[in-house]
Structure formats: structure tokens, C-alpha cells
Amino acid sequence: MTTKRAQPDACSLLDADHRNVKKMFAAYEELTKSRAASARDKRRDLAMQICMELTVHAQIEEEIFYPAARAAIKETDLLDEAEVEHAGAKDLIAQIQEAAEVDDMFDAKVKVLGEYIDHHVKEERNELFPKARAARKLDLVAMRDELAARKEELMAEMSVMA
């Protein structure tokens, strides 16, 4: 017996991003326990990777997923909250990217960003994604392909700029 969720959809793709970045935050946390000079460089590199992943993820949600969900879901308060959370995350990302030193404040900003993202992910996974999947007007399987293509395009652009 197959279920409607057997085929990966837009929510599956976004949630895979969530899981990937959660692993990166955990790896960062492990690096903060090391006092080796090389750990400082690794922390900066990993923090920049986290920032890039989150920037691209937020952009594809804002360009593709949120507008489609807003058109298909009656209660848009979750989408309003998600956009406010994105704005807060973007501010922290900018602070991390602009930081001159990898010090205790840098680590604190990465940690708070991780907590912010964790909260955001829980709301999307537990509230927004089920509503999106229940909305008849959303073709989340087709949207997955659109999100994947845009993500690939943005990652390529960011890699060139890095």
C-alpha cells in the first residue's frame, strides 16, 4: 500500500536542509570544546558554511514555498512568524559573517543562531508542513523540483562569490 507521502515533496527537501544544518551546528559545538588554534579556523569555516546554507534555504522558502503556501493556506500567521524569524536569523548571519574574530561572542552568535533555527524548524515541521501537505491547491512534488533547481543555482552563485 502506498501513501500520499511516499514521494518526496517540497517539505521533504526543506526538512533535509533542516537536518543537514542541525548536524553542522552540532559539529560546530564540538569544535568549541577544542582549544587548538586550528579549531578556531575550522569554526570560522563551518560558521560560514552554516550561514551560506541558511541564506540559500531562507531565500528558496521566501521566493517559492512561502508565497505558494500563503495562497493555499487560510491561517497565514505561521507564515508571518516564519518571515519574522527569517529576518532575525539574517541579522545574526550578517553579524557572524562580518565578525573579525572567532571569540566567545562569535561562538555565542552561532549558538543563538542554532537555537533560533531549531525553534523555526520545529514550527515548520510540526505546524506549517502538515498544513501545506493538507492544502489541495499545492503541488508539493512539483514544487520540490523548483526548490531544488533554485537551491542549486543559488549555491553555485555563492560558491563563485566566496
Q: What is the pLDDT of residues 111-153, one digit of tens each?
A: 999 999 999 999 999 999 999 999 989 999 999 999 999 999 9
Instruction: Look at residue 2 in the predicted model and tell me its pLDDT.
Output: 44
Instruction: Look at residue 104 in the predicted model and tell me its pLDDT.
Output: 93
Segments of the chain scoring below 70 in pLDDT: 1-6, 162
CA distances from 77 to 82, 130, 158 (A): 9, 15, 31
Instruction: Look at residue 37 in the predicted model and tell me its pLDDT.
Output: 82
For the entire predicted model, the pTM comes to 0.92
Nearest of 137, 97, 129 to residue 113 by alpha carbon? 97
Report all structural domains of the chain as residue ranges with CATH numbers, in order of start: 8-161 (1.20.120.520)
